[in-house]
Amino acid sequence: MSTSRIDTFRAQCPGLSLSTDPGVLESHGQDWTRFRRPDPTAVAFPADNTQVSDLVRAAIATGMHLVPSGGRTGLSGGALAASGEIVVSMDRMRRILHEDPADRLLTVQAGVAIAEVQARARELGLYYPVSFAAEGSAQVGGTIATNAGGIRVLRHGMTRERVKGLKVIDGRGRLLDLNRGLVKNASGYDLRHLMIGSEGTLGIVVEATLRLTEAPPPSRVMLLALDSMPVMMTVLAKLRGSLRLSACEFFSVGALELVCRSFDLRYPLETSADGFLLVEFDVPAASEQHIEEQALAIFDEMLERGWILDGVLSTSEAQKRALWRYREAISEAAAPYTPYKNDLSVRVSKLPDFLQDLTTLAEARFAGCSLLWYGHVGDGNLHMNVLKPEGEETAAFERRCKEASEAIYRLVRAYGGSVSAEHGIGLLKRPFLGYSCSEEEIELMRGIKQVMDPHGILNPGKLL
């Protein structure tokens, strides 16, 4: 941007911290995706809602584009600034503004980390059930912009279920105060839900009122070696028939071996297998012995039926955490291999057939690549990461993945599934939106975008 334009920009934003430091441009111009180089003009660090409004108005006046940015842990390039945009970082808006234990509501600024919300909820004797590997860095605003999922969706749903109030700055710089923490509100369209999952393209989240829930009872974890991947639904149905599950995750042996290698972890079981199920279930103190007996009886029955080959039941909090690490560390273990991520979902009951068809397709299309399979069985959400082979040039690898993606997304469409279950469309999945949405839906989305962001300054090129 020419210095005159940035001077005009600064003049319209009194008191705004605006950095053009190369290190800040590099770090704040991207998220966890590595397929494009960041190239923002500047990074703004607004201190309050008024400064965010000023930023939007300055962008309108100068024709600059804005890329909202939170914890920068996104996986679809939604927070990538690769075309001279101004990044709007929430790093200076990280206060917990209000807590209301009676309503079980916590009002926070967009820049508060998920881990901090979880910690504050615990201090209040409550629980914030959005949980995923990046929760230490991911910020509230970003998880609302992508409607983040994680490992507790099975019981508590997506981020969308937690948001009872939302303040956003729209594409004209106006502050919208949506739903204001009400449980019931049947007055007009619920613009709060329109904003959730809009990936910074309809408004910039500046504040959220989050609904906490009661603290979970004590729990235990079972790690099970599956006889085959498709049997996972049979095992899930069996477990669900007797235990109160709070999570049900799966991962392939390739994912497990990579995690063990990357973090020097001991293999968790004596027996190897193609796939593993990690389930967590409630063990209220009053019925601990009964539930333990039940869990062990189910375990023995599944062993006899040949559904599982081996398994372990946690007997301590430390062991529970150690077992979870095998699942939660997959993402971090994959990161050094420029993973091309598929974040797909189908109806839960269709997951085994879909997994079977996708495995056949992927093994044919990605010959020579390591594939990691993992995800949230209870949500029908499958993550398939293709790791870039040593020595293959990134652009060539991305092209190969995008070509294969067409076939993958045709399969997803045939199953009535989604090309993005929880990571958002962002930049990387934009060419494939039509595999999950009809032309009519996309036409309406464009109309809404035009109304909410008439100057086209909010995260242009993302999602639509």
Nearest distance from residue 71's CB to ligand S2G, in Å? 13
Nearest distance from residue 383's CB to ligand S2G, in Å? 5
Q: Which is nearer to ligand S2G, 131 or 436 (CB)?
A: 131
Selected from 42, 44, 60, 75, the binder of ligand S2G by CB under 6 A is 75
Q: Is 285 left (phi over 0), alpha (psi -120 to 50) or beta?
A: alpha
Residues contacting 100, CB < 8 A, separation 6+ = 106, 107, 181
Q: Rounded to an integer, what distance in angstroms lies between the CA atom of residue 464 and that of residue 461? A: 6
Nearest distance from residue 324's CB to ligand S2G, in Å? 11
Residue 413: phi, psi to the nearest 5?
-65, -40
Residue type for position 76: S
Nearest distance from residue 327's CB to ligand S2G, in Å? 7
Task: Specify the 3-state DSSP secondary structure of 97.
Answer: strand
Binding of residue 383 to ligand S2G (CB under 6 A): yes
Q: Which residue is nearest to ligand S2G (CB)?
A: 331
Nearest distance from residue 206's CB to ligand S2G, in Å? 25
Q: Which is nearer to ligand S2G, 32 or 281 (CB)?
A: 32
**Residues numbered 190-209 forming contacts with ligand S2G, rule: CB under 6 A:** none
Beta-carbon count within 10 A of 57 CB: 18
Token pair belonging to 192: 């709060």
Q: Are strands 175-178 and 163-170 parallel, antiparallel or unpaired?
A: antiparallel
Residue 114: name the closest of 212, 200, 214 by CA: 212
Nearest distance from residue 373's CB to ligand S2G, in Å? 11
**432 DSSP assignment:** G
Q: Rounded to an integer, what distance in angstroms lies between the CA atom of residue 136 and that of residue 71? A: 9
Q: Which is nearer to ligand S2G, 25 or 323 (CB)?
A: 323
Q: Rounded to an integer, what distance in angstroms lies between the CA atom of residue 206 and that of residue 176? A: 10
Q: Which is nearer to ligand S2G, 132 or 324 (CB)?
A: 132
Binding of residue 76 to ligand S2G (CB under 6 A): no
Per-residue exposure over 415-431, b if at least 16 CB sit within 10 Å of its own CB, e if not = bebbbbbbbbbbbbbbe
Nearest distance from residue 218's CB to ligand S2G, in Å? 24
Nearest distance from residue 328's CB to ligand S2G, in Å? 7
Q: Which is nearer to ligand S2G, 120 or 423 (CB)?
A: 423
Residues 192 and 166 sit within 8 Å (Cβ to Cβ): yes
**Residues numbered 386-425 forming contacts with ligand S2G, rule: CB under 6 A:** 422
Q: Is 94 exposed, middle or buried (0-12, 13-18, 19+ CB in 10 A)?
A: middle
Token pair belonging to 360: 């056949």
Nearest distance from residue 385's CB to ligand S2G, in Å? 7
Pattern 103-132, binding to ligand S2G, x per CB under 6 A?
Answer: -----------------------------x
Count of positions on this chain that bind ligand S2G (CB under 6 A): 8
Residues 66 and 132 sit within 8 Å (Cβ to Cβ): no
Q: Which is nearer to ligand S2G, 9 or 32 (CB)?
A: 32
Q: Which is nearer to ligand S2G, 101 or 136 (CB)?
A: 136
Q: Which is nearer to ligand S2G, 307 or 326 (CB)?
A: 326
Q: Partners of 113 in the beta sheet?
A: 139
Nearest distance from residue 148's CB to ligand S2G, in Å? 8
Q: Which is nearer to ligand S2G, 58 or 75 (CB)?
A: 75
Beta-carbon count within 10 A of 60 CB: 18
Q: Which is nearer to ligand S2G, 45 or 354 (CB)?
A: 354
Pattern 302-341, binding to ligand S2G, x per CB under 6 A?
Answer: ----------------------------xx---------x
Residue 180: name the closest of 162, 192, 165 by CA: 165
Nearest distance from residue 150's CB to ligand S2G, in Å? 7
Q: Which is nearer to ligand S2G, 41 or 331 (CB)?
A: 331
Binding of residue 156 to ligand S2G (CB under 6 A): no
Please name the helix (run of DSSP H) or strand (run of DSSP E) that holds residue 212, with its range, or none: none
Residue 143: phi, psi to the nearest 5?
-70, -25
Residues contacting 308, CB < 8 A, separation 6+ = 224, 225, 226, 227, 231, 235, 277, 299, 302
Q: Rounded to an integer, what distance in angstroms lies between the CA atom of residue 3 and that of residue 254? A: 51
Nearest distance from residue 335's CB to ligand S2G, in Å? 8
Selected from 67, 133, 153, 283, the binder of ligand S2G by CB under 6 A is 133
Residues contacting 271, CB < 8 A, separation 6+ = 225, 309, 310
Q: How many helices, marked H, and strands, marked E, lie in the chain? A: 15, 18
Site residues (vs ligand S2G, CB under 6 A): 75, 132-133, 330-331, 341, 383, 422
